[in-house]
């Protein structure tokens, strides 16, 4: 895991922690956010490695542990903006066919807003809650998905419990889509916020998947209540005889 910049003091030593002066009209909360960004090792690493945001390292760390982004996998990225998760998935599933002798995967990224192009990823402006979204996804993938992943979060209301309920509702909706588009053996990965209302979601996932794990990857900020649910071994839908590719 990357180490953060260390603060040093004393004559002849430089304070490596970036401090942001509070300018006139700048709120303290904005100052603190900017200061945290400037000192976040994952933000700095994302810039060095060409990722669109620090969230890319969350899916990297989850996949390093559970190995669901494999060559040939068909992947759906819900709420994909700004595109960091797609950037990680493209080489791992061999979407560009650069790994000779390995199956070529496909990834569909969906978001309410337009996302700048990513080589190897097919990006669409679409509300996954719309009627027919499931059929659209399966048509674009030319079959069922092996992975449905979501880093979606509802706009913050400033009220912790309200925000928790909103993100759980999003996660439940994403799970419903996963139940419809996943192939047997598939994987569902989604962000949730710890807060006590996720019990029903956990139960439903355990009914449909062989294993359900809850994990906070190192890239998640220690002061954040976010965690990720990783459900593997989708048992499929009744009368579904299709099989996973990856």
Which has more confidence, 167 or 203? Answer: 203
Which has more confidence, 120 or 44? Answer: 120
To the question of whether residue 85 is assigned a binding role by annotation, the answer is: yes
* Per-residue buried b or exposed e for 118-136, using 16+ beta carbons within 10 Å of the residue's own CB: bebbebbebebeeeebbeb
Average pLDDT over residues 222-240: 82
- Rounded to a whole number of angstroms, the CA Rg of the chain reads 20
Residue 240 resides in a domain: no
To the question of whether residue 111 is assigned a binding role by annotation, the answer is: yes
Whole-number pLDDT of residue 156: 66
- What range defines the domain where residue 22 resides? 1-39
For the ranges 96-100, 138-142, 219-223, 236-240, the lowest mean pLDDT is seen at 236-240
In the predicted structure, residue 8 carries a pLDDT above the cut 50:
no
The residue to which tokens 């900020």 are assigned: 221
Q: Does residue 118 share a domain with residue 31?
A: no
For the ranges 3-12, 36-45, 156-165, 227-236, the lowest mean pLDDT is seen at 3-12
Residues 130 and 138: their CA atoms lie apart, in Å, by: 14
Helices (H), the chain: 28-39, 41-49, 56-66, 84-92, 133-141, 160-181, 199-208
Q: Does residue 202 share a domain with residue 89?
A: yes
Tokens in use for 36? 């945290």
Global model pTM greater than 0.85: no
| pLDDT cut 70: percent of the chain above it | 75
Q: Does residue 159 share a domain with residue 74?
A: yes
Whole-number pLDDT of residue 135: 94
Q: Does residue 227 share a domain with residue 141?
A: yes
Which positions ≥6 away from 60 have C-beta within 8 Å? 88, 219
Q: Of 191, 203, 206, 211, which one is the catalytic site residue?
A: 191
Distance of CA 223 to the CA centre of its chain: 18
Residue 205 resides in a domain: yes
Q: Does residue 172 share a domain with residue 76?
A: yes
To the question of whether residue 64 is assigned a binding role by annotation, the answer is: no
Residue 244 resides in a domain: no
Q: Does residue 222 share a domain with residue 186?
A: yes
Residues 109 and 76: their CA atoms lie apart, in Å, by: 6
Whole-number pLDDT of residue 51: 93
Q: Does residue 76 share a domain with residue 19?
A: no
Q: Does residue 217 share a domain with residue 162?
A: yes
The DSSP secondary-structure symbol of 216 reads -
Residue 14 resides in a domain: yes
- 206 within 8 A of 212, measured Cβ to Cβ: yes
Q: Does residue 133 share a domain with residue 206?
A: yes
Residue 180 resides in a domain: yes
The DSSP secondary-structure symbol of 197 reads -
Q: Does residue 99 share a domain with residue 32?
A: no
In the predicted structure, residue 38 carries a pLDDT above the cut 60:
no
Q: What is the signed CA dihedral for 150, 157, 47, 225, rounded to 10 degrees?
A: -70
Residue 121's domain is classified under what CATH number?
3.40.50.150
The predicted-structure confidence for 176-193, as pLDDT tens digits, reads as follows 999 999 999 999 999 987
The predicted-structure confidence for 191-201, as pLDDT tens digits, reads as follows 987 665 578 88
Residues 202 and 195: their CA atoms lie apart, in Å, by: 13
| pLDDT cut 90: percent of the chain above it | 58
Residue 74 pairs with which residues in a beta bridge?
Answer: 106
How far apart, in Å, are the Cα atoms of 105 and each of 49, 70, 96, 174, 177?
22, 8, 8, 21, 20
Residue 12 resides in a domain: yes
Whole-number pLDDT of residue 179: 97
Per the structure, the count of domains in the chain is 2
Residue 208 resides in a domain: yes
Q: What average pLDDT is seen over the chain?
A: 82
Which has more confidence, 100 or 192? Answer: 100
In the residue annotation, 6 being an active-site residue is answered as: no
To the question of whether residue 130 is assigned a binding role by annotation, the answer is: no
Residue 107 resides in a domain: yes
The predicted-structure confidence for 52-99, as pLDDT tens digits, reads as follows 988 999 999 999 999 999 999 999 999 999 999 999 999 999 999 999
To the question of whether residue 33 is assigned a binding role by annotation, the answer is: no
Q: Does residue 131 share a domain with residue 13?
A: no
Q: Does residue 11 share a domain with residue 126?
A: no
């Amino acid at each position: 895991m990357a180490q953060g910049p260390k603060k040093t003091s004393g004559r002849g030593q430089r304070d490596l922690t970036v401090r942001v002066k509070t300018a006139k009209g700048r709120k303290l909360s904005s100052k603190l956010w900017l200061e945290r960004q400037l000192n976040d090792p994952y933000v700095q690493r994302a810039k060095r490695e060409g990722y669109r945001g620090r969230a890319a390292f969350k899916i990297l760390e989850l996949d390093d542990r559970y190995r669901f982004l494999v060559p040939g996998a068909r992947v759906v990225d819900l709420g994909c903006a700004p595109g960091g998760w797609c950037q990680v998935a493209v080489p791992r599933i061999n979407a560009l066919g650069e790994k000779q002798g390995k199956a070529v995967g496909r990834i569909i990224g969906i978001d309410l807003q337009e996302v700048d192009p990513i080589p190897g990823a097919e990006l669409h402006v679409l509300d996954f809650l719309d009627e027919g979204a499931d059929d659209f996804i399966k048509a674009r993938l030319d079959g069922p998905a092996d992975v449905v992943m979501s880093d979606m979060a509802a706009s913050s209301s400033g009220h912790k419990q309200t925000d928790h309920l909103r993100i759980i509702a999003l996660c439940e909706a994403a799970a419903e889509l996963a139940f419809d588009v996943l192939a047997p053996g598939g994987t569902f990965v989604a962000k949730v916020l710890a807060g006590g209302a996720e019990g029903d979601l956990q139960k439903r996932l355990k009914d449909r998947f062989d294993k359900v794990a809850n994990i906070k990857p190192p890239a998640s900020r220690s002061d954040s209540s976010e965690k990720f649910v990783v459900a593997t071994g989708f048992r499929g839908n009744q009368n579904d005889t299709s099989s996973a590719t990856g």
